[in-house]
Every structure is written in structure tokens, then in C-alpha cells.
């Protein structure tokens, strides 16, 4: 495992032991860090290279990937800036570690920044698993996602992400050409065993 501050984001990198698997870009939720999703990454994609950056924005001392103005209200100019910064980091890491384009695996705030990267820099990611994601940009630019695979797992009892919002994100990405699989699970904002099983099954097909 490698901890690095030499690239633009503090991060953890775990080299692949199965070179046939696509690398994963692990993006934590609010208050997480670069270590948080490593166990999840190992569980759903055994042997894949894992690239796990720390969100560069602090909210009350808790790392995030972009600023928000209130719960569910995002600073969209900051979303745009940070999504581009993250896409640049992915390119730096690909060159440094010799990686193919990664599949993002993001939870909550991490899923939201991954969705923004898909819309703003569609070539940066080979796909995405968006766990409890919301619409990151109310007026997203037109993107050509050209069959990019995207799995969205929402919680039907989620108090943070309204059903309509998650459905709108899925529709927006689909209209941009992504191959979207959107499922709603009988759970809240927390992750469940079903999330792990569905994510692993989906990644096994990539």
C-alpha cells in the first residue's frame, strides 16, 4: 500500500494483484478519508488496483469532495472546480502508477463528485458505481457518455436523497448515453449487504 502526498490529492494506492480487473477510484462520504473504502474495494473487486483520494474540502473538520451550502444544497461552482481537479488527479495517478481509466466507486458525497466527473470530464472514468447519489449539478453540460456503464444504488428509505432526485440523476446520465442500471433498495442512507452483493456482481461483469 502506498500513501502519497506528491500528487494533487492525498491518497492511498493499492497495486493490483489481478491485472485483468479494472482499477477502482474509491470516493468516500462526508467525514471519511482515504482509508475508509479500501475494505469495500477489496470486497467487491478482489485483486483490483485501488486508488483512494481524500476529499480536499473541510466542513467542520470533516473531509468532503466539494462545498455545500446546506444539506442537499451544493455550491455548484465548487462542484465544477473540484470535479475537474479530481479528473486531473486521476490522470496524474494513471501516469504515475501505470493505470487504465478507473471505475469510480463512490458513496454519498463521493458518489456525487463521481457523477459530476462523468458529466464534466466523461473520458476520465471507465464507469461508476454511485451509492446514495444525488444530482450534483442542476444544469449539467451536455456530455457524451457513449455507453459508459453506471450502476446507481439508492435507498428507498433514504432521508437525505429523495427518490425523485436519484431518478433524475439516472435519467440525466442515461440521456447523455451512459448505460445506467438504477436500483432502489429497501434501506436508508447506510450501505447494506445488498449494496455489496449487487456492486460485486456488476463489477464482475466489467
- Tell me how far apart the alpha carbons of residues 178 and 43 are, in angstroms, rounded to a whole number: 25
456503464: which residue's cell?
A: 149
Report pLDDT digits (tens) over 154-185: 999 999 999 999 999 999 999 999 999 999 99
Catalytic residue among 36, 85, 158, 195: 158
> Yes or no: is domain 2-204 CATH 3.40.50.970?
no
Catalytic residue among 8, 96, 189, 192: 189
- Tell me how far apart the alpha carbons of residues 66 and 58 are, in angstroms, rounded to a whole number: 9
Report pLDDT digits (tens) over 82-136: 999 999 999 999 999 999 999 999 999 999 999 999 999 999 999 999 999 999 9
> Which pTM was predicted?
0.96
**Cross-strand pairs, 128:** 104, 150
Q: How many helices (H) and strands (E) does the chain have?
A: 5, 12
* Known catalytic membership, residue 108: yes
Res 3 pLDDT > 80: no
Catalytic residue among 108, 154, 182, 195: 108
* Known catalytic membership, residue 158: yes
Q: What end-to-end distance do the CA atoms of the chain give, in Å?
A: 24
Amino acid at each position: 500500500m502506498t500513501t502519497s502526498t506528491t500528487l494533487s490529492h492525498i491518497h492511498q494506492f493499492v497495486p493490483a494483484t489481478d491485472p485483468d480487473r479494472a482499477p477502482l477510484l474509491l470516493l468516500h462520504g462526508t467525514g471519511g478519508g482515504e482509508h475508509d473504502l479500501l475494505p469495500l474495494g477489496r470486497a467487491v473487486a478482489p485483486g483490483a488496483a485501488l486508488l483512494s483520494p481524500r476529499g480536499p474540502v473541510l466542513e467542520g473538520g470533516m473531509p468532503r469532495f466539494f462545498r455545500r451550502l446546506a444539506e442537499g444544497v451544493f455550491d455548484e461552482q465548487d462542484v465544477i472546480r473540484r470535479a475537474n481537479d479530481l479528473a486531473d488527479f486521476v490522470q496524474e495517478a494513471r501516469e504515475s502508477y501505470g493505470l487504465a481509466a478507473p471505475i469510480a466507486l463512490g458513496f454519498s458525497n463521493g458518489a456525487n463528485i463521481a457523477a459530476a466527473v462523468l458529466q464534466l470530464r466523461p473520458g476520465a472514468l471507465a464507469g461508476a458505481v454511485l451509492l446514495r447519489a444525488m444530482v450534483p449539478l442542476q444544469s449539467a453540460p451536455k456530455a457524451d457518455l457513449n455507453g459508459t456503464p453506471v450502476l446507481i444504488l439508492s435507498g428507498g428509505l433514504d432521508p437525505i436523497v429523495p427518490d425523485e432526485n436519484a431518478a433524475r440523476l439516472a435519467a440525466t446520465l442515461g440521456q447523455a448515453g451512459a448505460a445506467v442500471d438504477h436500483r432502489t433498495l429497501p434501506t436508508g442512507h447506510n450501505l447494506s449487504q445488498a449494496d455489496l452483493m449487487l456492486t460485486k456482481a456488476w463489477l464482475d461483469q466489467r
